[in-house]
Chains A and B, each alone.
Chain A
Amino acid sequence: MSDIPGSAKPAIAHGMRLQWEPAQEAHVLLYPEGMVRLNSSAGAILSRCDGVRTLTDIVTDLERTYSVAGLGDDVTAFVALALDKHWLELRE
């Protein structure tokens, strides 16, 4: 899990779309004939995965936004899970 380098740039995978759905009060990931509803933390992480920011940038941004330290492991674990499920892909 923790073998994703901090310099990796995660992005929403090709063919998937992340959007905010007011009716569900949640971010959702949309893909062919399916949907993943994200809780607020998962939404906060994936909405920062733009293929430009590095994993380190994303952790720093989340820690600042939510005024907490030590999010690195949890964010990395979720990014690993999302990569495994092909929700995310890594950009160079």
Chain B
Amino acid sequence: MSSATPVGHGLAAPNAQVGMSQAPRSASAPGPPLWLLLELTYRCPLHCVFCYNPTDFANTGPELGTGDWIRVLRQARALGAVQLGLSGGEPLAREDLEPIVAQAHTLGYYINLITSGIGMTEARIRALKVAGLDHIQLSFQDSTRELNDFLSSTRTFELKSKVAGLIRQHGYPMVLNVVLHRLNIDHVGEILEMAEALGAQYVELANTQYYGWAWLNREHLLPSRAQLERAEATTRRFRERVGTRMQIYFVVPDYFETRPKACMSGLGSVFLGIAPDGTALPCHAARMLPGLQLPNVRESDIRAIWYDSPAFNRFRGEAWMKEPCRSCPERARDFGGCRCQAYLLTGDADNADPVCDLSPHHHRVTEAVARAEQAAAAAAGGVREQALVFRDHRISIAVVPGDPVRR
């Protein structure tokens, strides 16, 4: 929130509110789904070990057709959706990406393509620009070709560097996203140098969030506190050197926090995701939540899904909360944290996110960090109990709450 001095009669103080969150509203009168994310496909040429996609993605239904996506775009825009994310999987795997973008642009969306860059060519980026694409976020796994290729189980580093060049040449802001974890967090200095060399204006150093495939691989991916502190110090030094030329967001892994993230600004508040098969999601990972009958855009329109469906109303307001959230003075700030994390770590999605140190289950987070530190020490000594699980449709399986490495 920022404001300048009062302007006087007839013209109030100019004032701007930053961010996608909305003024608090009651559960009975939610605001519009300002942020629409279309996961156009689960297909992806990469096999990233930290992917948040559901681990049983291969068992979901067929992808929506072009007409279905365009219907979703129209209906959501009519409700007030304005920021559009196109992701997946790899959205460039959809051959109809360009007509989808063109339609979204005509409707007035600000369109963000969230991509690994695989499948991007000169011809496609030109067509996407003409269609009205506003922004491309390119993900990198690491700064070195060896680790980038190992973590995504492909040879893609050079291709990505080429795509970064295309993004710049076509006048897009250069926005890089690098997912951090134990295996690459020590390379943060090199990652930032690579970003600088690529002309990046924004870099998001996003520590892995433990859902989907990342949940399966949690013991391999959680960094140690010492690693995290080193990476933050390196990032600080880099920031001081480059100043405002490059904006760096360092997203701390919430396992190291004592208060939970305000996940989705509260479920059913601003975010609407649509999975490849048309399932409507109040958060990226909501498919895992038991008893949540997620509506599908093949059967319902967006207005009914957003305002009327039990799934989208399930976590609105505060009536669902348990103690310690229910009486907590901070509940309006963090909404009890992440429902999926509460479910994965405590078995009950209504519990406080155990990242919060007021949660009686907080020890499950601190124990996971301690176990990961031990596993890291053992791996350094040459002992590796479990292999990393690469995202792959052939081993696509359901995840159960509790032990992330249960087999």
Interface residues of A (CB under 8 A from B): 14-15, 17, 19, 21-24, 28-42, 44-45, 62, 66-68, 70-71, 73-75, 77-78, 81, 85
Contact = CB atoms under 8 A, between A and B. Distances in A.
B173 A77 contact: no
B380 interface: no
B137 interface: yes
Interface string B1-28: 0101111111111111111100000000
Given A30-B83, A71-B8, A37 B173 contact: no
Contact of A41 (B12, B134, B135, B172): B12
Given A15-B135, A30-B83, A35-B83, A66 B9 contact: yes
B156 to A, nearest CB: 23
A39 B14 contact: yes
Shortest Cβ-Cβ A-B pairs, 4 listed? A23-B80, A30-B110, A42-B14, A41-B14
A77 B3 CA distance: 10
B108 A19 contact: yes
Contacts of A19: 108
Contacts, number: 108
11 contacts: A21-B82, A30-B134, A33-B137, A35-B20, A35-B110, A39-B12, A39-B14, A42-B16, A44-B14, A66-B11, A74-B13
A68 B10 contact: yes
B175 A32 contact: yes
Interface of B: 2, 4-20, 32, 34, 79-80, 82-83, 85, 108, 110, 112, 134-135, 137, 171-173, 175, 202
Given A23-B79, A36-B18, A41 B11 contact: yes
A35 to B, nearest CB: 6
Contacts of A37: 16-17
Given A24-B80, A30-B83, A32-B137, A38 B20 contact: no
| Interface of chain B: mostly helix, strand, loop or mixed | loop
B135 A34 contact: no
Nearest to A37: B17
Contacts of B17: 36-37
| Interface of chain A: mostly helix, strand, loop or mixed | mixed
Nearest to A44: B11
A37 B3 CA distance: 12
B220 to A, nearest CB: 29
B100 to A, nearest CB: 18
Given A35-B20, A37-B16, 16 more contacts: A15-B134, A23-B32, A29-B16, A30-B110, A31-B110, A33-B83, A34-B18, A35-B83, A35-B110, A36-B17, A37-B17, A42-B14, A42-B15, A67-B10, A70-B8, A74-B8
Given A15-B173, A35-B19, A71-B7, A21 B80 contact: yes
Contacts of B108: 19
A40 B135 CA distance: 27
A78 B4 contact: yes
A33 B82 contact: no
A66 B8 CA distance: 10
Nearest to B85: A33
A32 B135 contact: yes
Contacts of B10: 66-68
A36 B2 CA distance: 11
B241 to A, nearest CB: 20
Given A24-B80, A44-B11, A39 B16 contact: yes
Contacts of B32: 23-24
A30 B16 contact: no
Contacts of A35: 18-20, 34, 82-83, 110
A40 B134 CA distance: 25
Given A32-B202, A70-B8, A41 B15 contact: yes
A61 B96 CA distance: 45
B83 A34 contact: yes
B110 A77 contact: no
Given A23-B79, A66-B10, A38 B134 contact: no
